[in-house]
Amino acid sequence: MDLQENINVPHFVLFPFIAQGHIIPMIDIAKLLAQHGAIVTIFTTPKNASRFTSTLSRAVSSGLQINIVTLKFPSEQAGLPEGCENFDMVDISNDLWNNFFYAVTLLQKPAQELFDKMSPRPSCIISDFCIPWTSQIAEKHQIPRISFHGFSCFCLHCLFKEIPAALVSKLPKEFVEKMHEAEMRSYGEIINTFEELEKEYLNDYKKVRNDKVWCVGPVSLCNKDDLDKAEREACDSSFEDWSESWCEGCNGVW
């Protein structure tokens, strides 16, 4: 496909939050979009890109138009250990949450500079809800920003009313406020769930989000190749190990 043809093809730019539970479904979404003929570009960091290079290489070899743009992660500038580019690398015992989220905010400028030069022109941004500054990029280029959520409509409806104090206390207040503001300014939301699973909760959530909510899950079903399925499960296991460690470090009964 030449450049002239590409001009008329939708170009989606994806910004996954750099945590395994967020990246994995976003890679699936990239495949789904590309399978429907769209051009897809994924912004991430070098170490995170290396985690799914093989599965995307197979997708590209099959004819899908998926590209990767890497951003140098400012670990040291944010007070993180060198090479700490994924949330599962964060030592939560040292309370480095704030440092990690600060590092994510520092990615805005280099991402903006690269985005400005992209060709063909992006048609839409699909951004993890944990990356609020993508709303500014979308507004600058006058394209829609659609936020992605990996959890249920029930959970989102509860969070829309009030974010639990325990969660807010762990995250930078300013960051939480910016996430909420970006959500309100987004064109809509896609959620990794399906209507038949929670129809009533979906309808309730649509009412508070002006009906611009779409269920796209389970996105994992896009993986037909056995090797892709196996590699996806291997990535999932690292997140499970991290989440189990996190739960063990919390007070309370589970």
Catalytic residue among 128, 149, 157, 228: 128
Does residue 228 contact residue 58 with C-beta atoms inside 8 Å?
Answer: yes
Q: Measure Cα distances from 219 to 33, 176, 224 in Å.
A: 11, 27, 12
- Catalytic: 128? yes
- Catalytic: 22? yes
How does DSSP assign 196-217, residue by residue? TTSHHHHHHHHHHTTT-EEE--
Catalytic residue among 11, 22, 149, 157: 22
Find the Cα–Cα–Cα–Cα dihedral 160, 165, 166, 171, rounded to 10°: 80
DSSP count for the chain of H helices, then E strands: 12, 7
Of 42, 70, 53, residue with least CA distance to 128: 42
Catalytic residues: 22, 128
